[in-house]
Structure 1
Amino acid sequence: MTAAVMAADASYDPVLSKLVTSLKEAESLSSEQELGFLQNLLESKEINALVNVHSKVGKVIKDEKCAPLMSSSIQVALEVLEQLSQRCHISPLCKEIFYLLQKPHVQSLLASHDAIAQKDFYPHLPDIPIEVDEDEETVKIVQLVKSNEPLGATIKTDEETGKIIIARIMHGGAADRSGLIHVGDEVIEVNGINVEGKTPNDVLTILQNSEGTITFKLVPSDGKSGQRESKVRVRAHFEYNPENDPYIPCKEAGLGFTRGEILHIVGQDDGYWWQARKECERTSRAGLIPSRALQERRIIHERTQKETNGDTKSSCASICSTPPPSPDSNTITCRGPKTKKIMYNLDENDDFDRELIATYEEVSKLYPRPGVYRPIVLIGAPGIGRNELKRRLVARNPDKYRSPVPYTTRAMRPGEVPGREYLFVTRDKMEADVSAGKFIESGEYKGHLYGTSAESVKAIVNSGHVCVLSPHYQAIKSLRTPQLKPFIIHIRTPSFDRLKATREAHRARSTFDELNSRGFTDDEFNEMITSDERINFLYGHFFDEEIVNETLATALEQLLVCVERAETEPLWAPSSWVQ
């Protein structure tokens, strides 16, 4: 096919036609084989089709009438999904749009729109290689303007060569944004000062004393692949303050956080120090946090030191120690003749839970599903009032909120109806079901077995109702599964003075004495607070919310707000729960 034929065919690009004509004129300057290859390539229908598409897309982008209004429609769609999820139960139209925006075809369309708006269709050609003398060392000069913001890079001494090299680049920092400094680059000079033989602290002193523009002379590393942010989000199960960490490479680069905060892990290249930013501060630069492996080693070391030193008087040890007996409908033992022993069908106990090492838990957004509600689990110290809160919540709307009917092996009493107060079964049957793991909690009281079956919880959830539970805290391990996806609320005690004042003002009756109707004693108040602290220490990282129960009326209002959030808002949950 000649260039004239190509020019006459409207489907062929005129620029390619001119290139073919130029090739004909340059036949004497190149080999016949090379010219033939180029001519066949330029005349192919495939290359012409690609050039035509590229030209038309470029024309659309340049046309102001067709210019895109935004280049982040995917992000906007995610924000719309969060808003719609709160209204799906109100408007059928919102529900329809909510599911439509999650369709793969719509998601792909929005992604294509963003790619064109961001001009990602332009070809990315590799840099032209520069031929240099093999014995000559390549050096690059990098200038950064010093400001109040840290440079976002750390340095170290190479163990083999003794040279100063770039140890890490902080995601989102000044060095990362420049795109000119990479991990492994060797530092030769800083502001004209040779750093050979100097320590990293010497180099930091030079940087601290510099003003205005900072000039680095660097030898590029062999591998300069760009940093790619991970999409991992985790919930922190401990508190961290870099100012109190003597081992962090750079305190200024550290990121402090509290237990329960959501962190975006943007880099895990370093086995000891991860890079992260708080999820609520997406635009900020990343900071250093201890990796899971490092934090686990620290916790093991601290526990070993305490055991070696015989530190049994610390507040932590008192919180973790075996609690004194405290009679309650869900506690382990009772005083006097009212002996009650709870035999939880769990592999772990308090001693084992104390040995669990809680660091980070990978999480994702769990979106509410219309008609399928997460079980509401109320955990708290004996006597704090979680059972009464459960009763009041169910009584507020019995058609919506329900609690599972417990099983028992005792005989039915006059006035009781099977399936209303209890489900009555034989002892052999219940012991077999307990051994088979069919109960989330079970125990014995006055010679009779009592328990809550896992199947009864699932039945309430599958029926479209909100299941409300107030089990012993050890039942968390049986309930917190991908199948149930519970929303766990810790009902906490106020201070001793507030606890005593509010209970006495409302003439609250002690739940520690079933035979005599009386108020709580000071010892019982202190026992509640100790138990509350122990539960928070052992299981605090599992709780989605906390409610301080000063008065039942106020706590119930807060509980209703929490339940509404669990039903309507996308909330962070273990990634294994999100299918």
Structure 2
Amino acid sequence: MDNSTDNWDPALTRLLSSLKEVQSDGEDVAFLSELLQSKQLHALVQVHNKIVAAQCKDDKFYPLLSNAMQVTLEVLEMFGEVVISSNEYKELLKLLQKPHFQAILCTHDAVAQKDYYPHLPDIPADADDEEETVKIVQLVKSDEPLGGAQSAEPIVGATIKTDEETGKIVIARVMHGGAADRSGLIHAGDEVIEVNGISVENKSPADVLSILQSSEGTITFKLVPSFGKGGSRESKVRVRALFHYNSAEDPYIPCKEAGLNFKKGDILHIVSQDDAYWWQARREGDRVMRAGLIPSRALQEGRIIHERQIDPQTLDGKAALCSPSAANSDCGPKTPCSPTPNATALLPCKSTPKVKKIIYDIKENDDFDREMIPTYEEVARLYPRPGLIRPIVLVGAPGVGRNELRRRLVATDPEKYVTPVPYTSRAQKTSEQNGKEYVFVTREKMEQDISEGKFIEHGEYKGNLYGTSAESVETIVNSGRVCVLSPHWQALKMLRTPRLRPYIIFIKPPSLKTLSETRTAANARSTFDKESSRAFTEEEFADIIRSSNRINFLYGYMFDEEIVNEDLATALTQLLKMAWRVQSEPLWVPAAWVQ
């Protein structure tokens, strides 16, 4: 065999060697010998081997999204708002509008959402009442949870419990995307009669789990179906989590292994809200299709309310892991609630010096803001398009450096980034130009505009009114430039609207020690004293930290990003990246903003 066949498939090589050992000069042998040495056959065998190898791998293909048709409709809507004459644009538009292409996308979404549940036939109306319909379901044991309120073990993707009325073992819930869900044959409410031929009568959930743990390979369930409770369609709701959650720290979750951990700011796909206290969700973008349990909005709100009743000044809103509203759920034993041990009290902010550089002095309404109970916020993707310019809002404690960051961002490209000119009722100086440093108006006019809600923020300093008008912000946005604001934090309630759709960045101080060291090393001047230029005091540094914590507690659910301003150059680099991303990438925003 020549060198060109040295890298041939071993099976073909052995077959060809065996053929040469056959002492025959027949035409069939010659033909077969020629075929086995052909490059075309060798190439086909290579393709076959690669396909088989790919099928044997553990990695599986997962849909990247389950709303492809919705995204297509959004793209078509975007196309309708612009006029493009290129052939590529016309070809893409024609393709997206084809019924066959849209049908493929709808089918893709149905498969991704598991919207193909088989259903058992209904019991005939004239069936004998003494007969009991059962179903036999076989599942392959896998690394998925099946557990009860007191214990759990990765088995088949469902949870079980003891029915309080009948004392029988029933399926408490089926996890979307798990083995039980994919079978389409196991539903919440089904009564478990046998597992692998072993009766579960008079057994506890822990006993059933022991049977499952000792089982190998295929697990056979004998179930009495819960009629009228077939597989539910997967929800398309996406939410932004406004708190941290760790199922391992939650003693009342029905099955810890079925819990889904997440951090504040994570985007969650809520696939089922059938349970009033425990929703099923997946983190957006995760390849794992099986959903996990998270506390519902009602349950989490109850926890936070309970925590605030115990300690009204809780800093981070971290709630006790139980609530009276959950007492009737299957989430665990009914034990008295207790506050979270590591909850931190919010210390009252010390008053800053009377003479401040901050001109805005909006009347604060902490009692109203404290009533906000951030849990989840429904979101949708906002896609960038011509004419959609989102303002950038920098919010933070006085002295943290947000105004300096705003100035430096504007200086990078004054034609692109613009700050609205503030209004004032004070007299114009001879060196000032109206509309440049300030827009000068009478006090009566400004008071009237304030009463009519035309200012996003306003305040009084030394007997004169100052403020930023909503119209000036909209003028900048409509001109195609990026409006950059650094308002008082209470102005967020007026800025965060579907009309403006701002991108809010929280400027956060570093630790107290780092804050003091970096500002002292940079010879930073205090922003609390307008009358003289001096360094920050240690008390002012402490005020910055306390005020920042308070702002984050009251308004943190509104923030899109945060920057720790330890070093101005580094913070500016981060700000520039965020400013580019907000104008060029699809981002998650409140769902009402895209309707």
**TM-score normalised by length of structure 2:** 0.75
What are the superposed Cα offsets for residues 421-444 of structure 1, whole Å, 9 maximum, x if unpaired? 111111111111111111111001
Q: Distance in 1 between matches of 2:466 and 2:109?
A: 63
Residues 1:365 and 2:356 are matched in the alignment: no
What are the superposed Cα offsets for residues 36-72 of structure 1, whole Å, 9 maximum, x if unpaired? xxxxxxxxxxxxxxxxxxxxxxxxxxxxxxxxxxx99
- How far apart are residue 191 of structure 1 and its match? 2.2
Equivalent residue for 2:526, pick from 510, 515, 522: 510
- How far apart are residue 546 of structure 1 and its match? 1.0
Q: Unpaired runs of 5+ in structure 1? A: 1-70, 86-90, 327-333
**2:582 is matched with which residue?**
566
Residues 1:111 and 2:102 are matched in the alignment: yes
- How far apart are residue 158 of structure 1 and its match? 2.4
Match of 1:145, as an amino acid? V
Equivalent residue for 1:275, pick from 273, 280, 292: 280
Q: Distance in 1 between matches of 2:589 and 2:96?
A: 27
**2:143 is matched with which residue?**
148
**1:239 is matched with which residue?**
244
Q: Distance in 2 between matches of 1:97 and 1:493?
A: 49
- How far apart are residue 416 of structure 1 and its match? 0.4
Q: Distance in 1 between matches of 2:191 and 2:68?
A: 42
Is the contact made by 2:69 and 2:106 (CA closer than 8 Å) also made in structure 1? no
Match of 1:269, as an amino acid? D
Change (3 A) 1:163 1:76: closer
Q: Distance in 1 between matches of 2:173 and 2:521?
A: 60
Residues 1:228 and 2:233 are matched in the alignment: yes
In angstroms, what is the RMSD of aligned CA positions?
Answer: 3.6
Match of 2:362, as an amino acid? Y
SS across alignment from 1:318: coil
**2:396 is matched with which residue?**
380
What are the superposed Cα offsets for residues 209-231 of structure 1, whole Å, 9 maximum, x if unpaired? 33333221111121242221010
Q: Distance in 1 between matches of 2:279 and 2:224?
A: 26
Q: Distance in 2 between matches of 1:160 and 1:559?
A: 59
**1:324 is matched with which residue?**
350
Q: Distance in 1 between matches of 2:366 and 2:117?
A: 58
Q: Distance in 2 between matches of 1:167 and 1:204?
A: 14
SS across alignment from 1:269: coil
Q: Distance in 2 between matches of 1:100 and 1:356?
A: 49
SS across alignment from 1:483: coil
Q: Distance in 2 between matches of 1:244 and 1:314?
A: 12
**1:182 is matched with which residue?**
187
Question: Which structure 2 residues correspond to residues 36-435 of structure 1 after superposition, within 5 A?
Answer: 106=97, 108-114=99-105, 133-150=128-145, 151-306=156-311, 316-318=344-346, 321=348, 323-326=349-352, 334-335=353-354, 342-344=360-362, 349-435=365-451
Is the contact made by 1:400 and 1:465 (CA closer than 8 Å) also made in structure 2? yes
Change (3 A) 1:141 1:508: same
SS across alignment from 2:395: strand
Q: Distance in 2 between matches of 1:262 and 1:99?
A: 34
Match of 1:325, as an amino acid? S
Change (3 A) 1:450 1:297: same
- How far apart are residue 301 of structure 1 and its match? 1.2
Percent identical among aligned pairs is 62
Match of 2:441, as an amino acid? V
**2:33 is matched with which residue?**
none
Q: Distance in 1 between matches of 2:90 and 2:523?
A: 51
Q: Distance in 2 between matches of 1:362 and 1:307?
A: 27
Change (3 A) 1:282 1:202: same
**1:480 is matched with which residue?**
496
Is the contact made by 1:74 and 1:114 (CA closer than 8 Å) also made in structure 2? no
Q: Distance in 2 between matches of 1:155 and 1:247?
A: 15
Is the contact made by 2:69 and 2:102 (CA closer than 8 Å) also made in structure 1? no
Is the contact made by 2:68 and 2:108 (CA closer than 8 Å) also made in structure 1? no
Is the contact made by 1:141 and 1:216 (CA closer than 8 Å) also made in structure 2? yes
Match of 1:318, as an amino acid? L
Is the contact made by 2:456 and 2:495 (CA closer than 8 Å) also made in structure 1? yes
Higher alpha-carbon deviation: 525-534 or 239-248: 525-534
Change (3 A) 1:115 1:502: closer
Q: Distance in 2 between matches of 1:156 and 1:124?
A: 24
What are the superposed Cα offsets for residues 270-318 of structure 1, whole Å, 9 maximum, x if unpaired? 1111000000214331000011011111111111122599x9x986432
- How far apart are residue 247 of structure 1 and its match? 1.1
Change (3 A) 1:290 1:76: closer
Q: Distance in 2 between matches of 1:380 and 1:220?
A: 57
Is the contact made by 1:340 and 1:446 (CA closer than 8 Å) also made in structure 2? no
Is the contact made by 1:263 and 1:279 (CA closer than 8 Å) also made in structure 2? yes
Q: Distance in 2 between matches of 1:382 and 1:308?
A: 21
What are the superposed Cα offsets for residues 90-138 of structure 1, whole Å, 9 maximum, x if unpaired? x997999679857896274422245689999xx9999888976553212
SS across alignment from 1:142: strand
Is the contact made by 1:340 and 1:444 (CA closer than 8 Å) also made in structure 2? no
Is the contact made by 2:95 and 2:101 (CA closer than 8 Å) also made in structure 1? no
SS across alignment from 1:296: helix
Is the contact made by 2:311 and 2:345 (CA closer than 8 Å) also made in structure 1? no
Q: Distance in 2 between matches of 1:287 and 1:454?
A: 43
SS across alignment from 1:196: coil
Match of 2:230, as an amino acid? S
Residues 1:498 and 2:489 are matched in the alignment: no
What are the superposed Cα offsets for residues 490-540 of structure 1, whole Å, 9 maximum, x if unpaired? 111112232222222222111112222122122222211221222122212
Change (3 A) 1:303 1:94: farther
Q: Distance in 2 between matches of 1:79 and 1:517?
A: 55
SS across alignment from 2:536: coil
Is the contact made by 2:76 and 2:96 (CA closer than 8 Å) also made in structure 1? no
- How far apart are residue 148 of structure 1 and its match? 2.6
Q: Unpaired runs of 5+ in structure 2? A: 1-62, 146-155, 315-338
- How far apart are residue 242 of structure 1 and its match? 0.8
- For these two proteins, the number of residue pairs brought into alignment is 489
Match of 1:277, as an amino acid? R
**2:567 is matched with which residue?**
551
Is the contact made by 1:375 and 1:461 (CA closer than 8 Å) also made in structure 2? yes
Residues 1:442 and 2:479 are matched in the alignment: no
- How far apart are residue 261 of structure 1 and its match? 0.3
Change (3 A) 1:533 1:483: same
**1:27 is matched with which residue?**
none
Change (3 A) 1:572 1:96: farther
Is the contact made by 2:357 and 2:528 (CA closer than 8 Å) also made in structure 1? no
- How far apart are residue 159 of structure 1 and its match? 3.1
Is the contact made by 1:84 and 1:98 (CA closer than 8 Å) also made in structure 2? no
**1:60 is matched with which residue?**
none
SS across alignment from 1:417: coil
Higher alpha-carbon deviation: 477-486 or 510-519: 510-519
Is the contact made by 2:313 and 2:346 (CA closer than 8 Å) also made in structure 1? no
